[in-house]
């Protein structure tokens, strides 16, 4: 009996086609270049990213977080470079990412002197550098994270600027909802008649705030990051009430998704700042109840805990308005990207969004998408090999169609236009 499954599918073709397939990065913390200093970019910003801050403080337990934060940013970058790239082998994913960026930009990643690297990357303009990074990353559009309760950002939107059409808006709810009732005072200061009571008037004013800023931002979706303990139904919870009676109605009226990012335990180590957040396991049944109660609203969902990933896939099989996306934060590591992508393909077919970069620094788009393309492409090639073994060959046209469906952002952008 001939058990030879025949020729393997074109593994190299997957890499080649994926390499020329532009992606829409549906969740970042980047900003339109027109928003000025809010957009972080350049080697010092890349090196002082909070993943590397946490890593260097592990490498240097004699250095307190307080002493690190007292250092000027260039000095922080120099410390991180010396400790993680010169005195130690940079094996972590965050370190490897910096080297991938340098290589893509034509800088020798084996260079040991940060001063040489800084000189090689000097003389850039923000708009020229933005063009270069997006081209190297193969990214056609990115979705920002926009918070009107951030004074500097709000002032820029109210002042107006020439928008880069590649940078799309998303309205972040964290400041307004997670800090309630402080959020009520912030909304009041903006002219919305809100108070801590969550009365009908206050909820109507919160919805008005959401709709006003969705229009101004041309928001693709509403988004909120949440502690793992979200409950629904929970009439005693201000957060749940705001989600159900303000955010979901606003998403429904605008015809856009609500992105729920669950599992972050804020400030587990407050001394580390952004590097001090941790992870907790969420209750997937809460998502199922939300999806069942609001079948006409799409919930973009990413969960931070590895332990939640199988449950989320199963829930998404039951509720078509649950849309898993990306490998968020602590999951954005090669071994876990492979695992999650394979699981999702096996349980959901092509009906999910495999990745988002979560980039806070423009340069990170290069490494996060370079690495993700290689990892996700390899998993897809394995699945195509399985199909070939089952007698269903996959053509290059099939591969191109599949990659477009997974990465062109259609499930997020179709409502926003």
Residues of the chain short of pLDDT 70, as ranges, are: 1-10, 415-417
* pLDDT tens sequence across 246-268: 999 999 999 999 999 999 999 99
Domain end call among 123, 154, 185:
123
Say what the pLDDT of residue 6 is.
Answer: 45
Query: Is 2 inside a domain boundary?
Result: no
Say what the pLDDT of residue 74 is.
Answer: 98
* Same domain for 57 and 20: no
* Same domain for 86 and 212: no
* Same domain for 94 and 60: yes
Query: Is 6 inside a domain boundary?
Result: no
Say what the pLDDT of residue 3 is.
Answer: 52
* Same domain for 66 and 32: no
Say what the pLDDT of residue 179 is.
Answer: 85
Nearest by Cα to 305 from 276, 270, 331: 331
Say what the pLDDT of residue 1 is.
Answer: 44
Say what the pLDDT of residue 415 is.
Answer: 53
Say what the pLDDT of residue 296 is.
Answer: 97
What gap in Å lies between CA 224 and CA 257, rounded to an integer? Answer: 11
Inter-residue contact 160 to 136 (CB < 8 Å): no
* Same domain for 143 and 22: yes
- Cα 191–chain centre separation: 31
Domain end call among 96, 123, 150:
123
Query: Is 223 inside a domain boundary?
Result: yes
What gap in Å lies between CA 40 and CA 362, rounded to an integer? Answer: 6
Give the CA-trace dihedral at 52, 146, 320, 372, to 10 degrees: -30
* Same domain for 117 and 136: no
Query: Is 1 inside a domain boundary?
Result: no
Give ∠ CA 342-167-279 in degrees, rounded to 5: 45
Nearest by Cα to 300 from 340, 241, 352: 352
What gap in Å lies between CA 79 and CA 286, rounded to an integer? Answer: 44
* Same domain for 206 and 157: yes
Counting the structural domains of the chain, the total is 2
What gap in Å lies between CA 92 and CA 38, rounded to an integer? Answer: 27
Domain of 79 in residue numbering reads as 43-123
Say what the pLDDT of residue 12 is.
Answer: 87
* Same domain for 170 and 80: no
Domain end call among 100, 123, 146:
123
CATH number at residue 106: 1.10.2020.10
* Same domain for 56 and 21: no
Residue matched to tokens 């952004």? 274
Residue 373 structure tokens: 């393309």
* Same domain for 325 and 180: yes
């Amino acid at each position: 009996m001939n058990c030879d499954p025949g020729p393997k599918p074109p593994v190299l073709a997957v890499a080649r086609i994926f390499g020329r397939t532009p992606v829409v990065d549906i969740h970042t913390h980047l900003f339109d270049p027109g928003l000025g200093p809010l957009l972080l970019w350049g080697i010092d910003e890349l090196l002082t990213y909070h993943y590397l801050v946490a890593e260097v403080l592990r490498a240097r337990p004699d250095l307190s977080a307080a002493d690190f934060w007292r250092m000027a940013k260039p000095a922080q970058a120099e410390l991180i470079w010396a400790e993680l790239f010169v005195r130690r082998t940079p094996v972590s994913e965050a370190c490897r990412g910096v080297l991938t960026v340098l290589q893509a930009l034509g800088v020798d990643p084996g260079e040991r002197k940060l001063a040489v690297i800084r000189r090689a990357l000097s003389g850039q303009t923000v708009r020229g550098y933005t063009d270069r990074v997006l081209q190297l990353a193969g990214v056609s559009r990115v979705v920002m994270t926009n918070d009107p309760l951030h004074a500097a950002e709000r002032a820029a939107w109210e002042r107006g600027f020439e928008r880069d059409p590649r940078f799309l808006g998303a309205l972040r709810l964290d400041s307004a909802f997670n800090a309630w009732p402080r959020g009520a005072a912030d909304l009041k200061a903006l002219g919305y008649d809100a108070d801590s009571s969550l009365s009908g008037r206050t909820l109507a004013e919160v919805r008005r705030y959401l709709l006003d800023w969705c229009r101004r931002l041309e928001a693709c979706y509403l988004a909120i990051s949440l502690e793992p303990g979200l409950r629904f139904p929970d009439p005693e919870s201000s957060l749940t009430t705001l989600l159900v009676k303000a955010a979901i109605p606003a998403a429904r009226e605008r015809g856009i998704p609500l992105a729920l990012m669950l599992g972050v335990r804020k400030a587990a180590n407050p001394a580390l700042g952004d590097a001090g957040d941790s992870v907790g396991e969420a209750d997937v049944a809460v998502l199922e109840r939300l999806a069942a109660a609001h079948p006409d609203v799409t919930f973009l969902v990413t969960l931070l805990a590895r332990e939640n990933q199988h449950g989320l896939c199963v829930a998404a099989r039951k509720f078509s308005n649950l849309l898993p996306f990306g490998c968020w934060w602590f999951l954005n590591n090669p071994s876990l990207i492979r695992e999650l992508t394979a699981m999702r393909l096996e349980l959901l077919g092509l009906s999910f969004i495999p990745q988002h970069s979560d980039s806070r620094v423009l340069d990170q788009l290069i490494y996060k998408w370079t690495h993700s393309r290689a990892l996700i492409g390899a998993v897809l090639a394995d699945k195509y090999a399985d199909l070939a073994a089952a007698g269903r060959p996959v053509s290059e046209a099939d591969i191109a169609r599949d990659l477009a469906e997974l990465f062109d952002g259609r499930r997020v952008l179709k409502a926003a236009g």
